[in-house]
Structure 1
């Protein structure tokens, strides 16, 4: 068999335009810009580039094919196929270098919710044990509080009970499980006698002391009561309102029940209205459980949670490079079964 003529190829010269740039970032088509945490590692890309140049530019390789009864071909097709197969591992090495450089990308900007510190102040005087729908006023109030905390996920809630004295049941926290579990422990019928009255001014000042411990976020008090306060006389309501306003605390009041002695709006919630009006809040009346649930939804709508635009964080972007490396390595493994030089 006649020897196969060698295939000569013209050696290409690399100019300045053909050099591999040590770029720190490279945009992906239709995607975010990819940056590298260790850009100096990109200089190692010269190694796979030199290997690729050696695969395609070296001379002297011949493929001996048994050809009978005909002239031998030039073998250009086989040369291209084998060279492509031999280029897979250098390309996989280039992907490994990119992985070592630490590819990163900017994630989607996430709106961060502005924290609102909400102190829920619940009256547990004896009258809160009166019927209210199918349950008591206290039970209806606590059920509405539980629903309200679910509307405002992400805010910090605290729970305070008051009568003649004040008890901080739960500090300000975003975990509202303690608030949701408090109902059976503070029923008005099982409390000591010193919780029998209604001192709203004292309770509001105690709530203020808790809220001012939090320097960040808005401050709000949700007052739930069913009667007139015994310590709002002689302008004490206006005095408390100014104290709360000075600390940036907004008060919303929910007056529940329909006692005849409080049917007169001035007697029923006039002092509470003074506090809510001066602090930028509002006072509501709820004569039945359905109205109570509506009131809390109304409060949520009036003080919608605000959000701040956050700068997008930098995320690792290994996934596309790992997939490319696995594909190249797999193809190189399959190609080694047939597309390789065998010296006969």
Structure 2
């Protein structure tokens, strides 16, 4: 059955029985006989001429064979292609009031959004999503490979423009919400980049361990960017390290840009080989049919039976 795989319509190959029958009839028959009166003549059997004539008569049957093969849709196996494995990246950005603190020429929020937009250029072809959080969570940009919405997001979600119920910081709630977004994508790797500047009360006790278990179960890697002075909260360090990521604490705008470059380097792009696919392959069969047709036309000038 592997022989039938390279044809789109293998059932058409049953038509090969007709040219096969014609070839059997041509080569098994005794041929056409013409008796001529030659006095005292000794006629040879003419085996060479008979073979040439039968070969010429076989050309139309061979053309019919190629016509059947063309109607069956000849195909060939394409070479396997290298394909980049998509990474689904969800940005989880803190918009609590403390994100308005000075950071470089602007504030922490503005610096974070600029760094995010620059990071998009490093990971061309990946899918990105954007989630803002405080005490509540807002999925601003769904996972998409079209990053134009990211460029327009900063003015709308500045901490000074948001409602009061976004004023706090609940990182645990935000991570769980981002995890649920990522699990909707069955294809590709999953990564969360958490950008915050504060401590989250909803990570106290065993809550952080529960979140880690959920993230690991869904193959989600978490990277953290702590855009504030002082030490990084221990729960954030624990979550990022156990999920295979890391947490960084840049001291200025240049350090923030470097952090995103480091994240890009740590989360390497994976390449996988795709399985080969069957593609149309009419060329060789068409050329063979044209060659046989030309041979038939040439043979018709002389290699044929005549009744005289």
Aligned length, in residue pairs: 290
Is the CA contact (8 Å cut-off) linking 2:16 and 2:65 kept in structure 1?
A: no
1:282 deviation in Å?
0.6
CA distance in 1, matches of 2:71, 2:195: 60
1:222 deviation in Å?
0.8
1:84 deviation in Å?
8.3
**Structure 2 unmatched runs, 5+:** 35-49
**Structure 1 unmatched runs, 5+:** 1-22, 27-32, 62-78
1:294 deviation in Å?
2.9
Equivalence for 1:231: 201
1:155 deviation in Å?
4.3
1:228 deviation in Å?
1.4
Equivalence for 1:297: 261
Confirm or deny that 1:183 pairs with 2:151: no
Confirm or deny that 1:165 pairs with 2:136: yes
Confirm or deny that 1:100 pairs with 2:64: no
1:96 deviation in Å?
0.9
1:253 deviation in Å?
0.3
Equivalence for 1:199: 170
Confirm or deny that 1:40 pairs with 2:11: no
Indicate the structure whose relative CO is greater, using CA pairs within 8 Å and at least 6 residues apart. Answer: 2
Equivalence for 1:322: 286
CA distance in 1, matches of 2:241, 2:96: 25
SS in 1 for 2:131: strand
Decide which moves more: 278-287 or 214-223: 214-223
Confirm or deny that 1:285 pairs with 2:254: no
Q: TM (normalized to structure 2)? A: 0.70
- Report 1:54-203 matches (<5 A): 89-111=60-82, 114-129=85-100, 132-133=103-104, 136-153=107-124, 155-203=126-174
1:285 deviation in Å?
2.1
Is the CA contact (8 Å cut-off) linking 2:93 and 2:131 kept in structure 1?
A: yes
Equivalence for 1:66: none
CA distance in 2, matches of 1:289, 1:343: 99
Equivalence for 1:272: 236
SS in 1 for 2:245: coil
Is the CA contact (8 Å cut-off) linking 1:232 and 1:271 kept in structure 2?
A: no
Among residues 178, 192, 209, which one is paired with 2:180 in the alignment?
209
Change (3 A) 1:124 1:24: closer
CA distance in 2, matches of 1:117, 1:24: 38
How big is the alpha-carbon RMSD for the aligned residues of Structure 1 and Structure 2?
A: 4.3
- Report 1:255-266 matches (<5 A): 255-256=226-227, 262=229, 264-265=230-231
CA distance in 1, matches of 2:113, 2:256: 11
CA distance in 2, matches of 1:152, 1:241: 30
CA distance in 2, matches of 1:187, 1:162: 11
1:204 deviation in Å?
1.9
Q: TM (normalized to structure 1)? A: 0.64
Equivalence for 1:67: none
SS in 2 for 1:228: coil
Confirm or deny that 1:220 pairs with 2:191: yes
Is the CA contact (8 Å cut-off) linking 2:215 and 2:221 kept in structure 1?
A: no
